[in-house]
Structure 1
Amino acid sequence: MRTILLALTLSTTLLATPVHASNDLQLPDLGGSTGALSLSEEKALGKEFMQEARSGLDIMHDDQINDYLHSMGYRLLEHMNPPFTHYRFILVKDPNINAFAAPGGYIVINSGLVLAADNASELASVVAHELSHINQRHISRAIDESQRMQWPMLAAMLAGILLSAAGGGQAGQAAMTASTAYGIQNQLQFSRDFEREADRIGIQALASAGYDPEGMPAFFEKLQNWSRLQGGNPMEFLSTHPLTLDRIADTRNRAEQLSGKRPDPEQDHDFDRFKTRVRAFSMTPNEAVSFFRIQASSQDSYQKELGSYGLGLALAQKGQYKEAIARLEQLNGQHPSVFAYQAALAEILLDSGKYASALKSYRQLQRAHPDSTLARAGLAQALLETDEEQAAVGMARQLAGEHPQNALYQQLLARALDKAGNKSEAHRALAEYYFLTGALPSAIQQLEIARSISGNDTKARAAIDARMVEMKRSGNPQGKDKT
């Protein structure tokens, strides 16, 4: 599948003229007039774009993968000045080496880029770069609403870019053709300014967060060398993030100035396990089993360890749970303190229907890692399968309360409430799930169902009505004050 992750570059190079940043963001002046989107408009645009994107992206829905990217992203954000409260980090099953930033706090990364990175710092350099695009509000700064287009036209244009990049036929091509009339040559230079700015801010966050700043120039050079070996045809990442020798040299110089304390080696071990998991779920089950059987027979003890982990995951994908569990039990016996291995065993026990054993494993995992949302979410699922609905409701409610923007926890809460017999609240939780995934009509429908079965509970009906108004308003950001 040809990657469709062109949102930032295309929107900045094809959609608009340069604009000043708003003064309160204290951003460098890149020329042009004022007129950036408000934060609320940018968030709404991002939701609309990602709703369209989800239908064309093969998103990898995996708790451990999501947790790793979320942890890396927020670790970097602690050393930035983010304009948004919530960010989403999404991994797409796509062998092309690419990543992109969409409006409102969305970072999308191809599995091919993860597999191309050799260590945590290289991957983190890309995440930091894309976060800088969002935090510097490059899309917003490239759109002058008063001279360019109204909101519906803008959303339609981004959808057209998406369709075209995905091979969506005449509708996408029409949007692309129209967009070229806005002066491509001027915008290309402007886009390079954005890229340099993202490099500069990203590499500073990279070093401040405890990663090796050398990861950025090292990864850039690696990609450029690979491109040369392929006959000069630029890979997707280089097409959407054009590199120059000056940019690479600048990041190298900055890395040398920032280099100091060496990163914790354990972060690269965590990355290796994350990469192994991504590889296991990026291949077909048969390919993955073959690949990891070879790695698991390696004479190198570390490679053998990673191969055994990948093999356990791959066997489970094929439904060969007995061997998968045996592999992971042996791995946990050899490395009893590695969270990824413990979580994988508990997960596969749950998937294979060994609910009592899964519950025991998740209890042990939660005791060892009491702050882990992964451990608590897994425990809640195991409690549901062992008919401990009330305990599951309590844990799911706690998770949803702590992470109100996590759609999967709302879905888990809805399932727990439904099994516990609380139908009205279950529909309200399911409404939140649909709302967070961009399905506003389905969210409203669930609230209407919740209202209809809430009986004479006037307090509940009032809360449902108020939430319905909030959801409908959030789908129409026009006319709001700039925030």
Structure 2
Amino acid sequence: MFKRTRSLVCLCVAAALSTPAPSLANSLDLPDIGTTASSTLTIDQEIQYGDAYMRMIRASQPIVNDPVLNEYIDSLGHRLVANASDVKTPFTFFMIRDRNINAFAFFGGYVALHSGLFLHAQSESELASVVAHEIAHVTQRHLARSMEEQARRSPATMAALAGALLLAIASPEAGMAAITATTAGNMQGRINYTRSNEKEADRFGINTLAKAGFDVNAMPRFFGRLADEYRYASKPPPMLLTHPLPEDRITDSRARAQNYPARRVDPSLNYHLARARIVARYAGIESKAAQDWFKRTQKKVAPNLKVAFEYGKALVYLDNNQLDQAAVILNDLIKQDPHNLFYLDAMSDLYIAQKQAGKAESLLKQALKSAPNNAVITINYANALLKQEKNEEAVKVLQRYTHDNPKDVNGWHLLSEANIHLGKSDEDLAARAEILALKANWNKAIQYYTQASQLAELGSLKQARYDARIDQLMVQRDRFLALQ
């Protein structure tokens, strides 16, 4: 649904942020362009809309809720954010399972990557160039500025445009009508505005790349390869529809890259591990094809990266219940690098598949001593406890985890499962209500909390906690509905 929506609005309010920027953005001496949109849409309002859009996306898109990949994307993204200019919002990075090459950003610092991006980016620097570009869309407030320009061209207000986008995510047909009614402007002007905007994001993005220690030449290299590959395609990937790549944009990024000193960037093992995990589990290809890809590609890489392809093979074996083959590879990998999160996660899965969850618990408990608050280790540790029916212990771990990571549905799912095993129906309902709220299903979430409150002891602290959460959800629901 969101892909359809994005194509509808890509030239006006596009959630993919292939959106407008004023012509003065081509100047080398830029003003504080963030203030352009501030008169009509504040940073707080952007964050509010971003939270609303994210809830709709969770309800409509195949988000990859993979703790290891989430950790990798988050680490990469925040390394770039730490070196970006004009950061005014927090940032959230997430992945959508989609083989199409695409990435997009929207209000509130949310940046989405399609899993297909990893299949085409050949290095971490190439992936980082895309992420840096999307970060620049957010920091330079391109979506707000685009909508402000659109409001100038039509009778629409900023609120009407933002509400139309939210409505479009919730209901594409209704959203199409709303957007059509609020976007009467000159098409050529919008196209030119978008091209200017893309160049501005490239310029800020390449500077962020350089400051973060990546290879700046990765941006024009990736752009050029994409343009060559799809030059005559009848159906180009979404990224080229929402992020046009005319020759002058590629030339411009190449020229800018030459202004930075040459830097040797060593290949990232974690990038190749993440890529192998996506090929094994999220590329939608059969296991034999995945194994063939690992064997074929492994021959072309540097010796120190070959372990990433062994890891990919092990995941395919593991997912096909070929446990002995998986064990041979994983035991070797974990010996080489006992603190690697990719290996710890896979080794935990292997032990559980072998009906040896106690070994997984011991492995992860030891790992927690070195990284006590790590999300990947903690969620795997809780799962290992659950597999041994140590539900009380699991609940204690998961209560702390969901407090620290309230937007991670993995934690709430496991907490729900643990409470079901313990016969605590009220706590199960509360955990499931949180998942529903994360997907903007407010009424069902409130209903579940109401049922939980009715099950709790009258006048207890637990009942008071449920009732307080009901009040919070009702306020959030009303704010959400007001945005439409």
TM-score if structure 1 supplies the norm length? 0.82
Question: What are the equivalent positions in structure 2 for 1:184-223 lying under 5 Å apart?
Answer: 184-223=187-226
Deviation at 1:218, TM superposition (A): 2.0
* Residue 287 to residue 174, structure 1, CA distance change in 2 (3 Å): farther
The 5 Å alignment of 1:41-190 reads 41-54=45-58, 56-80=60-84, 81-85=86-90, 87-144=91-148, 147-149=155-157, 151=159, 154-157=162-165, 159-160=167-168, 174=177, 178=181, 181-190=184-193
Conservation of the 8 A alpha-carbon contact between 2:391 and 2:422: yes
Shift of 1:448: 0.9
Mapping of residues 52-451 of structure 1, within 5 Å: 52-54=56-58, 56-80=60-84, 81-85=86-90, 87-144=91-148, 147-149=155-157, 151=159, 154-157=162-165, 159-160=167-168, 174=177, 178=181, 181-228=184-231, 230=232, 234-259=236-261, 262-263=264-265, 265=266, 268-281=268-281, 282-292=283-293, 294-295=295-296, 298=299, 301-302=303-304, 304-333=306-335, 335-336=337-338, 338-351=340-353, 353-420=355-422, 422-451=424-453
- Counterpart amino acid of residue 381 in structure 1: N
Measure, in 1, the Cα distance between the counterparts of 2:480 and 2:385: 44
Give the match for residue 167 of structure 1: none
In structure 2, the CA distance between the partners of 1:53 and 1:377, relative to structure 1 (3 Å rule), is closer
Kindly provide the amino acid, as one letter, of the partner of residue 312 in structure 1: A
Q: 1:441 to 1:163 in 2, by over 3 A?
A: closer
Cα distance, 1:188 vs. partner?
Answer: 1.7
Equivalent-residue separation in structure 1 for 2:160 and 2:264 (angstroms): 49
Residues 1:477 and 2:482 aligned together = no
Are 1:7 and 1:101, in contact at CA under 8 Å, matched by a contact in 2? no
Q: Residues 18 and 78 (structure 1 numbering): CA distance in 2 closer, same or farther, change over 3 Å?
A: closer
1:41-99 Cα distance to aligned partner (Å, 9 max, x none): 434433444444445533333221111111111222222343333x3322223222111
Q: 1:235 to 1:427 in 2, by over 3 A?
A: closer
Task: Provide closer, same or farther for how the CA distance between residues 261 and 289 of structure 1 changes in structure 2, counting only shifts above 3 A.
Answer: closer
Distance 1:371 1:101, change over 3 A: same
The answer to whether the Cα contact below 8 Å between 1:285 and 1:315 also exists between their aligned partners in 2 is no
- How far off its partner does 1:240 sit? 0.9
Contact 2:276–2:308 (CA<8 Å) still a contact in 1? yes
Listed one character per residue, the Cα deviations across residues 244-280 of structure 1 (whole Å, up to 9, x for unaligned) are 34433433343333446644x36x1110111111111
Distance, in Å, in 2 between the alignment partners of 1:424 and 1:55 is 24
How far residue 378 of structure 1 moved from its aligned partner, in angstroms, is: 0.6
Structure 2 spans left out of the alignment, 5+ residues: 24-30
Segment of structure 1 superposing worse, 106-115 or 368-377: 368-377
Matched AA of 2:144: S
CA 89–470 in structure 1, closer or farther in 2 if over 3 Å, else same? same
Would you say the 8 A contact 1:296–1:303 is kept in 2?
A: no
CA distance in 1, matches of 2:332, 2:20: 59
Equivalent position SS for 1:477: helix
What is the percent sequence identity of the aligned residues? 29
- Give the TM-score normalised by structure 2: 0.82
Superposed CA RMSD: 3.9
Secondary structure in structure 1 of the residue aligned to 2:98: coil
Q: Distance in 1 between matches of 2:394 and 2:241?
A: 47
Distance 1:479 1:277 in 2: 38
Asked if the contact 1:207/1:258 (under 8 Å) is kept, the reply is yes
Structure 1 residue corresponding to 2:32, chosen from 23, 27, 34: 27
- Count residues in correspondence: 468
AA in 2 matched with 1:284: I
Q: CA separation in 1, counterparts of 2:47 and 2:33? A: 22
Equivalent-residue separation in structure 1 for 2:435 and 2:198 (angstroms): 35
Distance 1:7 1:231 in 2: 21
1:304-344 superposed Cα distances (whole Å, 9 cap, x missing partner): 53332111111222233343233322433455554322321
> Measured at CA, do residues 298 and 234 of structure 1 come closer, stay the same or move farther in structure 2, by a change above 3 Å?
closer
Q: Structure 2: which amino acid aligns with 1:275?
A: R
